[in-house]
Structures are given as C-alpha cells and as structure tokens.
C-alpha cells in the first residue's frame, strides 16, 4: 500500500512528540548525565548542600587571610598561647605567640587587640585557628583519599569484570576478605602500624583509609561494566571488529563509570569523617596539627567538666557536622536522581 498522506487532525500526534531544544551543555554531558545534574539543581536539599560545600571551599582558599599564620613556614601548626592545660573561654586575650590581626578583625570585632574568639583548648591551642586551617586539611585528605580509592577501585573492578572467570573470582574473594573487618578498625590498625615507620603526618592515616576504602568502588564498577558489556552498541562494535581494549576503554568504561564517579565525589564527607575519627582516637598527625579530629580530641580529658568547657566541643563539632552534612545533602538527592525507578521523570 502506498503511503498516504495523513488526513485529518494530527495535532494530537505532534503534541505527543516532545520538541525540546537540546543545548550544547546537554550535548556535552549526554542526556542521562544532564538529567542527573538538572535533577540535583531542582532539589532544595542538594542546593543547600552545594552552598555548604562552597562555603567551606571559600574558607579553605582564604585560610591565610582569615587566620594569618604565626609561623608562615608551617601554617598547619596551631599557635599556642602558653602551655597551661585548662581551656580558656572565648574572648580571652591572646598574650603569647599572637596571631597577626586578620583583615576582618576591626570590622567585625571592633578592637585592636587579638583575642581567642572561640576560646582555647587543652594546652592553649587556639580553636578558631585550628578550625580554619583544618578546613584545608579536610579537603586535602578528603580529595586525595577519594581520588586514590576511586582510581584503584576502578582499575581493579574493570580488570575483574573484563577478564571474568578465575581472575574475577580471585579478586572478588580478596574484596570479600578485606570487607570482613570493620573499616574503621582495619584503618586504625594499619595507621598504627605505619605511624612509627613513616613518622607522624597525614600520610599513615591516608594510606590506611585508601588501603581499606577501594573495595566498594571495585564492586560497583564491576557490576556496571558487566551490565554495559551486554548492551547493543558493544555488540555492534564487536561485530564491526573493534579491538578488545578499545571496546573496554572507549565504549564500556566511559558508559559505566559515571555512577561510580558521582558516588565517589560525594564520599569526601565520609572520608573526612573517618579521618577525623582516627585522629580523635590519637592516631596519625602530630599533636597541635590543624585538623578537626585533633582539635576535638583535646576534649577527651575534660568530659567531666564539659558544662564549663562547652566551646572545646561545640565549635569544632559543629564545623565537622556542617561539612559532612553538605556532602550528605547532595548525596541524598543524588541517590533519588540515580534511582532507576525514577528514570524518565525529570
């Protein structure tokens, strides 16, 4: 039968076909990734999360201006105002080892004398300084650990999924074994083993968190690769004779890696939390290093008088919670957007 020109009213048909303009940005990201991004920006919770993260990025970048270091060669050392053990309340005058007046001081505080605006902790470490420079430590450790675990996990997971068979079996059993011990205990042990050998710094704890942190990514990417492997375009590539490694790197990994990538970018909050937990226990950095867990650990000896010394817990605690909450808010929204049952709805 010859094709007949449709007669009658076809506006119904036209309406059912979406005529949406596709911008260059959407073309760049691809439809699925674009949907995830716009989905995120439409959720108020994730917007608050982005704002919180942005706020901390600004603090980290402006650290030398917000809290000018007393020892510029070693800015991560929290300045001490003397050595007496009892914490001093907010507003106490800063007598020894005084921090230079930051640019905002006169506008916001209105005086010319330097005080401890958030008080000092055990051993007269300035809490405000520790929080500001601790933000840099948090980003540094969070990013390095996340990127390293991600890379390692993706490589191991891809190898496992790609080769399959016995290789896959062995790698997945290794993953099983590493997942048996609770992450924090395993990292605690490895960090304690490494500390005397590497020296007190960020390195032992970071190494320990990387060593016991990659397994989750390996599992996820492996699953995604296994499902992408079966898609039609991979089959098509195989049919026209594309080489194996080109299929893996050009067709499979780019299409499988996105969920892992996004999840990893949000793991920064968790990593910072684990890191803080370990340094709270007293593992890793030297005493007095600007790091939130360390600042909080000064409170451990004062739990019987926290009603007087509330500021040694509240300020650093609040900072850590806000930071982690920023990442969690975005992560929570992301989980909804990535949920396969939500696909097709924007």
Contact footprint for another protein (CB under 8 A): 45, 173-174, 176-178, 180-182, 184-186, 188-197, 269, 273, 276-277, 280-283, 296, 299-300, 303-308, 310, 313, 317, 320-321, 324-325, 328-329, 332, 341
Task: Quote the CA–CA distance of 139 and 267 in Å, as a whole number.
Answer: 12
Closest approach, Cβ 283 to another protein, in A, equals 6
Handedness of CA 295, 301, 306, 309 (dihedral sign): negative
Q: Please answer whether residues 78 and 290 qualify as being in contact, where contact means their C-beta atoms are separated by less than 8 angstroms.
A: yes
CB 217 within 8 A of CB 153: yes
- Least CB distance from residue 323 to another protein, whole Å? 9
Three-state secondary-structure class, residue 51: helix
Q: Which is nearer to another protein, 191 or 225 (CB)?
A: 191
Nearest distance from C-beta of residue 191 to another protein, angstroms: 8
Beta bridge partners of 289: 77
CA atoms within 13 A on the CB side of 173: 6
Instruction: Indicate the residue among 34 and 302 with the shorter CB distance to another protein.
Output: 302
Closest separation between CB of residue 181 and another protein, Å?
6
Q: Which two tokens stand for residue 153?
A: 């996990």
Nearest to 292 by CA among 60, 55, 115, 47: 60
CB of 235 to another protein, least distance (A): 26
With respect to another protein, which residue has the nearer C-beta, 68 or 317?
317
**Least CB distance from residue 49 to another protein, whole Å?**
9
If the CB atoms of residues 23 and 182 are measured against another protein, the closer one turns out to be 182
Nearer to another protein, 12 or 180 (CB): 180
If the CB atoms of residues 146 and 255 are measured against another protein, the closer one turns out to be 146
Phi-psi group of 151: left, alpha or beta (phi > 0 → left; psi -120 to 50 → alpha; rest → beta)? alpha
Contacts of 241 (CB under 8 A, 6+ apart): none
If the CB atoms of residues 102 and 288 are measured against another protein, the closer one turns out to be: 288
CB of 67 to another protein, least distance (A): 22
Q: Are 141 and 206 in contact (CB under 8 A)?
A: yes
Q: Which tokens in the block code for residue 96? A: 């020894």
CA distance 47 to 36: 14
């Amino acid at each position: 039968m010859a094709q007949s020109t449709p007669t009658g009213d076809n506006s119904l048909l036209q309406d059912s076909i979406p005529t949406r303009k596709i911008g260059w940005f959407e073309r760049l990201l691809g439809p699925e990734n674009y949907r995830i991004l716009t989905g995120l920006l439409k959720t108020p919770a994730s917007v608050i999360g982005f704002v919180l993260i942005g706020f901390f990025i600004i603090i980290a970048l402006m650290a030398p201006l917000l809290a000018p270091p007393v020892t510029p060669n070693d800015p991560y050392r929290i300045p001490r105002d003397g050595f007496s053990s009892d914490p001093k309340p907010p507003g106490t005058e800063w007598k020894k080892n005084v921090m230079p007046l930051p640019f905002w001081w006169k506008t916001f505080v209105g005086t010319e004398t330097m005080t401890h605006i958030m008080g000092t902790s055990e051993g007269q470490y300035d809490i405000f300084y520790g929080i500001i420079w601790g933000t840099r430590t948090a980003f540094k450790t969070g990013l390095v650990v996340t990127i390293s675990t991600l890379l390692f996990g993706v490589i191991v997971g891809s190898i496992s999924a790609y080769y399959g068979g016995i290789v896959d079996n062995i790698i997945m059993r290794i993953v099983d074994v590493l997942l048996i011990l609770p992450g924090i205990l395993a990292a605690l042990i490895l960090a304690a083993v490494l500390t005397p050998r590497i020296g007190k710094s960020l390195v032992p704890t970071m190494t320990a968190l990387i060593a016991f942190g990659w397994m989750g990514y390996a599992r996820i990417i492996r699953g995604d690769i296994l499902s992408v492997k079966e898609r039609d375009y991979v089959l098509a590539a195989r049919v026209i004779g594309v080489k194996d490694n080109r299929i893996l790197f050009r067709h499979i990994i780019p299409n499988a890696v996105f969920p892992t990538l996004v999840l990893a970018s949000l793991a920064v909050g968790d990593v910072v939390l684990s890191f803080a937990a370990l340094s709270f226990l007293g593992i890793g950095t030297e005493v007095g290093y600007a790091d939130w867990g360390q600042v909080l650990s000064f409170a451990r000896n004062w739990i019987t008088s926290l009603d007087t010394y509330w500021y040694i817990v509240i300020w650093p605690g609040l900072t850590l919670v806000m930071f982690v909450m920023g990442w969690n808010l975005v992560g929570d929204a992301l989980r909804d957007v990535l949920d396969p049952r939500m696909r097709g709805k924007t």
